Amino acid sequence: MGKTLIHKILEAHLVAGRMAPGQEIGIRIDQTLTQDATGTTAFLLFESMGVPRVRTDLSVSYVDHNMAGFGPENHNDHLYLQTVAAKSGVYHSRAGNGICHQVHLERFGKPGATLLGSDSHTPTGGGIGMVAIGAGGLDVAVAMAGGPFYLTCPKVLGVKLTGRLSDWVAAKDVILKLLSILSTKGNVGWAVEYFGPGARTLSVPQRATITNMGAELGVTTSLFGSDEQTRAFLIAQRRQKDYLPLQADADSEYDRVIEIDLSQLEPLAACPSSPDNVKTVREIAGTKVGQVAIGSCTNSSYTDLMMVAQVLKGRRVHPMVELGISPGSREVLNMLARNGALADLIAAGARILESGCGPCIGQGFSPADDVVSLRTFNRNFAGRTGTKGDRAYLVSPETAVVAALTGEITDPRDLSERRGIAFPTIEMPGEFHIDDSMIEPPLDEAQARKAEVLRGRTIVVPEAPPALQKKLDGQVLLKCGDKITTDHIMPAGTFLKLRSNVPEYAKVVFNCFNEPGSPTFAERALALKSKGIAGIIVAGESYGQGSSREHAALCPMYLGVRAVIAKTIERIHRANLINFCIVPIRFADPADYDRLEAGDALVIDDLIGAVRNAQTVRVARPSDGFQFVGNLELSSRDREVLLTAGLLSYTREKAHA
């Protein structure tokens, strides 16, 4: 039987394990990317591994998240990242150069290569035919040091695309459609491969929108084959040498196939507050909109923003709508400036925001209370905009720009009919305006040896996890429900600048569950820690959805959390827990979840023994003698990592073995 493209690329990079779905495999990583919000920790951990230069083909450090610069923290991080990159053999994309995924796609993405990024939307690279995977910063640091990346060999879902997108229907609608079918939970262990005649009609930026938001499905990665569209994009980026035609074998079989006819799709929206709460735009048409934000790594390519500019040309933004546009990269912004589209946006009344993540991660542009905000982004988790009780909808740039004109949610096809606005077909340029002057190459080895790394006072080296204890004497600090995201665990927004200082950032762990006047999660956790009692988190399904931020493991670990007992745990977060020596346990019988309460004292008699060689663990509640079984589901490497107190000490031990 032939092979899927994902399996072919993984197999070509295989260094450990056997290529069979469900089995743990180790793969060689060709490229890494880090961004500033996860990158400082990743580089601090990399430095502590004692490997002077990265051992990948290419590593790039981006600054795109923390750019507002209130106080010295952001700039301290930037200077650290710039100097540590130069010394370690890493390219550095400076603040202002754009969002990591957009810039990486434009300037570095390579069909057939593997990319590991400390950001969950790294699979954007799947749009150019690479196996691009999001992971915690420590996993990326290990890959930078030349270590393999371990993952479960995924089952492959084939999404067969037929037909062609109609006017005003966008790539975003394809992935929203898939989210409506598959939801954000239950997809761990899968990867998605798009194929079929419809796939060939989509440009690389359109494909990248789709693979980007595969992160919201919770799959390991998503990708398209590499074909004439890929070649055209690479030629336009003056990188034709990186082109490699790639497809699945003709007789390959997918573990499951879903067919989507692009011609049948219509404009869709993910309603508050989950990317899978999808409705047709017509169903929610008429809802008043007060804010529209166009940008993010999902939808701020040149073609997206040119379409927006053409629709706005000669028109005015609705007086009750605030429109913000953050171009995905300096390349995009530069091209809009040069061809006059930027002037059209400004004339229409758009606020031009910096090229970076900006509003997507709550760095300003929060909506007013009760105001509907339409966003072309990928996540609308409650509160992510920075406003408590927010009402954020995720839509395509087409749907977003039309609402900016009408002041209400409007199916763009209807407006086009009513107001005679023709759909602006934007051709991919034959040549992009290329200027890599804000991507700094690393120093050569001789210069690097002498170079100084600037480590500002707000950058604190994270504490190492303690070793597992034989007996876990713990208490349930929090019992939470289903679909707890890493934004719930570790809020971003105004707290994002604390990423390089774990003791400070840890103060806001589970901030959204803190009640005014009561002790915070962090205070309760530290009180237990001081008594030598382990913190335990009990959760429902799909715990740790969303971002790759390892702070959602690192900060709870710092507060003394030693185990998470959940119905299911998402892939990246589960790996982060293990990396920081927190034991992930799955209820063998999900009904036991109902029998636990916050405050319960729980005991595991021989945790080390179980982690060493058992599939399950028995958890007891001494107060009433209740006992239940938890599944460990650990690979042999996971066991070793936990038994050596986390991935950093495991990696150090291996290096000296």
Work out whether 333 is an interface residue with ligand SF4 (CB under 6 A): no
Please, which residue, 149 or 195, has the CB nearer to ligand MIC? Answer: 149
In Å, what is the CA distance from 130 to each residue of 124, 298, 487, 654? Answer: 9, 17, 28, 29
Q: Which of 351, 359, 409 is nearest to 384 (CA)?
A: 359
* Residue 548 binding partner per list ligand MIC, ligand SF4, none, with a CB distance cut-off of 5 to 8 Å that depends on partner kind: ligand MIC
Work out whether 121 is an interface residue with ligand SF4 (CB under 6 A): yes
CB of 37 to ligand MIC, least distance (A): 3
Cα separation, 490 vs 510, in Å, equals 6
Please, which residue, 109 or 196, has the CB nearer to ligand SF4? Answer: 109
Looking at 529-537, 547-555, 561-569, 646-654, which segment touches ligand MIC (CB under 6 A)?
A: 547-555
Examine the residue annotation and report whether 547 is marked as an active-site residue of this protein. Answer: yes
Work out whether 361 is an interface residue with ligand SF4 (CB under 6 A): yes
Examine the residue annotation and report whether 65 is marked as an active-site residue of this protein. Answer: yes
Site string for ligand MIC, 123-162 (x = CB under 6 A): -----------x----------------------------
Number of residues that bind ligand SF4 (CB under 6 A): 11
Query: Applying CB under 6 A, which of residues 209, 548, 576, 644 lies at the interface with ligand MIC?
Result: 548
CB of 212 to ligand MIC, least distance (A): 10
Cα separation, 51 vs 383, in Å, equals 40
Q: Which of 503, 623, 625 is nearest to 554 (CA)?
A: 503
In Å, what is the CA distance from 63 to each residue of 2, 82, 117, 301, 329? Answer: 41, 9, 13, 18, 12
* Residue 307 binding partner per list ligand MIC, ligand SF4, none, with a CB distance cut-off of 5 to 8 Å that depends on partner kind: none
Please, which residue, 69 or 286, has the CB nearer to ligand SF4? Answer: 69
Q: Among the options 549, 562, 571, 586, which is catalytic?
A: 549
* Residue 95 binding partner per list ligand SF4, ligand MIC, none, with a CB distance cut-off of 5 to 8 Å that depends on partner kind: none
Looking at 116-124, 144-152, 322-330, 393-401, which segment touches ligand MIC (CB under 6 A)?
A: 116-124
Sheet strands side by side (includes 278-280)? 278-280, 268-270, 391-394, 372-375, 291-294, 322-325, 351-352
Examine the residue annotation and report whether 379 is marked as an active-site residue of this protein. Answer: yes
Task: Kindly state the helix (H) or strand (E) to which residue 638 belongs, with its residue range.
Answer: helix 636-643
Work out whether 325 is an interface residue with ligand SF4 (CB under 6 A): no
Query: Which tokens belong to 129?
Result: 């035919």
Work out whether 175 is an interface residue with ligand MIC (CB under 6 A): no
Cα separation, 521 vs 96, in Å, equals 36
Cα separation, 404 vs 350, in Å, equals 9
Q: How many CA atoms lie within 13 A of 347 on its CB side?
A: 14
Query: Which tokens belong to 572?
Result: 């990246």
* Residue 38 binding partner per list ligand MIC, ligand SF4, none, with a CB distance cut-off of 5 to 8 Å that depends on partner kind: ligand MIC
Cis peptide before 437 (omega within 30 of 0): no
Examine the residue annotation and report whether 36 is marked as an active-site residue of this protein. Answer: no
Query: Applying CB under 6 A, which of residues 260, 311, 335, 492 lies at the interface with ligand MIC?
Result: 492
Query: Applying CB under 6 A, which of residues 357, 477, 509, 572 lies at the interface with ligand SF4?
Result: 357
Work out whether 38 is an interface residue with ligand MIC (CB under 6 A): yes
Q: Among the options 30, 119, 173, 411, which is catalytic?
A: 119
Query: Applying CB under 6 A, which of residues 361, 403, 553, 577 lies at the interface with ligand MIC?
Result: 361
| Span 85-114, contacts to ligand SF4 by CB under 6 A | 99
Q: Which of 333, 329, 269, 324 is nearest to 306 (CA)?
A: 333
CB of 64 to ligand MIC, least distance (A): 9
Work out whether 220 is an interface residue with ligand MIC (CB under 6 A): no
Beta bridge partners of 159: 194, 258
* Residue 296 binding partner per list ligand SF4, ligand MIC, none, with a CB distance cut-off of 5 to 8 Å that depends on partner kind: ligand SF4
Site string for ligand MIC, 64-103 (x = CB under 6 A): -x--------------------------------------
Query: Which tokens belong to 63?
Result: 């600054």
Q: Among the options 65, 92, 499, 551, which is catalytic?
A: 65
Q: Is 288 exposed, middle or buried (0-12, 13-18, 19+ CB in 10 A)?
A: middle
Q: Among the options 222, 273, 547, 548, which is catalytic?
A: 547
Examine the residue annotation and report whether 227 is marked as an active-site residue of this protein. Answer: no
Q: Which of 177, 370, 379, 372 is nearest to 279 (CA)?
A: 177
Work out whether 378 is an interface residue with ligand SF4 (CB under 6 A): yes
Work out whether 392 is an interface residue with ligand MIC (CB under 6 A): no
Read off the amino acid at residue 186.
Answer: G
Backbone φ and ψ for 420, nearest 5 degrees, come out as 65, 35
CB atoms inside a 10 Å sphere around CB 624: 9
CB of 427 to ligand SF4, least distance (A): 25
Examine the residue annotation and report whether 64 is marked as an active-site residue of this protein. Answer: yes
Annotate 167-192 with b (16+ C-beta within 10 A) or e (fewer): ebbbbbbbbbbbbbebbbbebbbbbb
Cα separation, 282 vs 271, in Å, equals 13
Query: Applying CB under 6 A, which of residues 547, 568, 576, 644 lies at the interface with ligand MIC?
Result: 547
Work out whether 119 is an interface residue with ligand SF4 (CB under 6 A): yes
CB of 646 to ligand SF4, least distance (A): 25
Number of residues that bind ligand MIC (CB under 6 A): 13
* Residue 177 binding partner per list ligand MIC, ligand SF4, none, with a CB distance cut-off of 5 to 8 Å that depends on partner kind: none
Residues 6+ apart with CB under 8 A from 64: 35, 36, 93, 95, 97, 98, 99, 100, 356, 357
* Residue 299 binding partner per list ligand SF4, ligand MIC, none, with a CB distance cut-off of 5 to 8 Å that depends on partner kind: none
Q: Which of 614, 643, 615 is nearest to 469 (CA)?
A: 643
End-to-end CA distance of the chain: 40
Residues marked active site are found at 64-65, 119, 379, 547, 549
Binding site for ligand SF4 (CB under 6 A): 65, 99, 119, 121, 296-297, 357, 360-361, 377-378
Binding site for ligand MIC (CB under 6 A): 37-38, 65, 119-121, 134, 361, 492, 546-549
